[in-house]
Chains A and B, each alone.
Chain A
Amino acid sequence: MKKSVKKVALVSLALISTGLTSSAFAQQKTQIEFWTWYLSPKFDNFIKGVIADFEKQNPNITVKWLDKQDTIERDFQATIALGQAPDVVNLWNDSTAAAVQNNLLVPITDLTPLSTLNRLYYSNVLNIFKHDSKFYGYPWYGYVDQGVMMYNSELLQKAGVSISRIRTLDDLLNASKTIKDKTGAYGWLPPVSDPNGASFLAYFYLDGLPITNASGQAVFNSPTHAALLQKYVDLMKGDYIPQDLLRKEAFQVTNELYSQGKVAFMVGGPQSLNRVRDSNKDIYSKTKITSAPLGKAKVQTGGAFSLVIPRASKHQKEAALFALFMTNNVNQVKFANVVPIVPTTKAAKNDPSFKTTSQDPIEIATARVAGTGGLINPGFASPKNTDVVYKNFNDNIQAAFLGRKTAQQALNDAVTFWNANAK
């Protein structure tokens, strides 16, 4: 009886001590919350895989992953107000700028030495997230707006258009006219009034026309700027580009119509081809890849997604560790092999996994754009009061396209509003 009591006591003691040590161990574990933007369910395996690798390397940190969609900015603010801020958040150019303007983010140089950041990432991408000489975002995956040109070779053949003659944006617009006149299909659908951002500003940048002066004042209303806008207005008037571009994202309209054989060119990243491959194998098989035509300035535009650390995060050190891990070269290259993104790490440029001898359009395009992180450049910094200023800009651009204002008047009004409100 005594023995059994002793045994029970010993076993109890052992169990209690085990419990105590395990709970003590559990207390040492830090959980960080990680938000992505529109990556689930398509990339669940990749994200979960990276998280698992990270947790293996950092046994004292666990990562709780949530994928947010169109409410990410709203939810971000709400959780900060409730004192439950996430620790690592996936944002994009303009939303990072807005979060910085609202003083919601920690400068990442407070957590990671600048030398480390400079060693890992392209400086042009780091600078996208630079505000008042501080860096606020770990560069994650990027994209180039020009990247490559994917085209329906059959439509070009029908129209008698030679791809070798298309070197500049003007060549592309002229080819688009010929294709529309001869086949009824559209050529290239340029973004003119995408709901997010101010897409038409990019054309000024591509042609080497200034957007703001040294003191940050908008100056995109010279007669040359107006003539450029008028050129696109005339294209829409002549139905060489569809009016739907005033209502929907060019990427979306292009994808839909290219898959139906009603558009000849897609300019941008190879991710545009995924839908074509899935929905129309015949057109996919006729798709060829070439270099994207550029504007007079011979530059490209593009952007990148960031991982930011909120000021309100309670685990900033661990968050920085995770953000660095998620955006390191190994994981960006892995991601680029899952979906054709442009890695923002310098080392990705010569990664052997991007070399291909395949004839598959997506693989060719991926190989071409994978090393173009050094070309990523938004072309202009987001103004303060981004949403208000861009909305007014887009309203004016729409007014010009719909004939409500002359191109010159639309740009004059946009500049006046910009300079009065971008403060």
Chain B
Amino acid sequence: MNKTRTTLTAYAMLLPALVLLGVFTLYPVLYNVVLSFSKYTALELGAGKGPSWVGLENYQKVFSDPLYQTGIVNSLKYLVVVPILQIFSLLVAVLVNRSLPAIAFFRAGYYIPVITSISLAAVMWEWVYAKDGMINAALQGLGVLSKTSAFGWLINENTALWAIMFVTFWQGFGYYMVLYLAGLQSIPTELDEAARLDGATKTQVFWKITVPLMKPTLMICSLLSTLAALRVLQEIMVFTGGGPVNSTYTALFYVYSKAFKEFDYGQGAAAGMGVALIGFLLSYVNYRLTRDQQVTG
């Protein structure tokens, strides 16, 4: 009786959050699944009709569209940023996890890009990447690039995606650094001290103690950044709009264009399901690679 009451009380407490989650997350997800198998465009909307079942037609159209394939390839390329971002954030977290003078200033400084709006960041990075911008000036100064061979980094098909990826990296590392910092500070210092007494070097301590104990944080951070990389849209819109010649056209940009520019909600939903499936698979791989293994023996 008491247990039942406790359970009911717990659910009653959870109810408001569950309702919100159901209305704003679960329902849209389920409705998206239904839409992906339906014909529903602005034409149906204008005629006051609802979605009508078309089976796999949307999937066939979307998955055979070269533009969607380009989007998927670019989105997968974008994942390159994930390991680099995680390793760098972890190293910076280790670096600022000490009681040095003015360390709070550095921690705050690294976090500033996180709270900088993408529009503002875009203005700054456009200057950096411009044909007569900072990068080319530096490369010309070093003699790597001649004045005649200078190019706009966001205009060149071979560099545009990487240039935007670097902005994602720049904006993201402060956020993950803070998460890693929290993880590092939860590791008992006794373990570190004991290992050092046993003669372990700093590097050994890092790889044998710090990294294994940081696995839960690593899993969360790499999962978050994988999904964020897959969902990249704002940066693309602000910097290149998917160009030049679709070299920065990502899968989510395709979803957005289908649903909110062409107003083909069915195909947009099907394209979104493709992205969600990739996200799910990558999350699983991520979990398998970073899950906490029980040490036995």
Contact = CB atoms under 8 A, between A and B. Distances in A.
B151 interface: yes
B155 A246 contact: yes
B155 A77 contact: no
A276 to B, nearest CB: 19
A404 B240 contact: no
B245 A398 contact: yes
B241 interface: yes
A98 B69 CA distance: 26
A247 B244 contact: yes
Interface string B127-153: 000110000000000000000000110
Nearest to A403: B157
Query: Is the interface on chain A under 10, 10 to 19, 20 to 34, or 35 or more residues?
Result: 20 to 34
A324 to B, nearest CB: 24
Contacts of B154: 247
B145 to A, nearest CB: 15
A247 B41 contact: no
Contacts, number: 71
A243 B246 contact: no
Nearest to B160: A247
Interface in A90-136: 98-99, 101-104
Interface residues of B, number: 26
B244 A402 contact: yes
B262 A77 contact: no
Interface of A: 73-74, 77, 80-81, 98-99, 101-104, 193, 195, 242-244, 246-247, 311-312, 385, 387-388, 391, 394-395, 398-399, 402, 404
A256 to B, nearest CB: 10
Nearest to A83: B48
Contacts of B130: 244
B91 interface: no
Contacts of B155: 243-244, 246-247, 402
B101 interface: no
Nearest to B41: A102
A137 to B, nearest CB: 16
Contacts of B257: 387, 391
A73 B257 CA distance: 12
Interface string B11-44: 0000000000000000000000000000001110
Given A98-B42, A103-B47, 11 more contacts: A102-B43, A102-B46, A102-B263, A103-B43, A104-B45, A244-B155, A246-B155, A247-B154, A385-B262, A398-B243, A402-B245
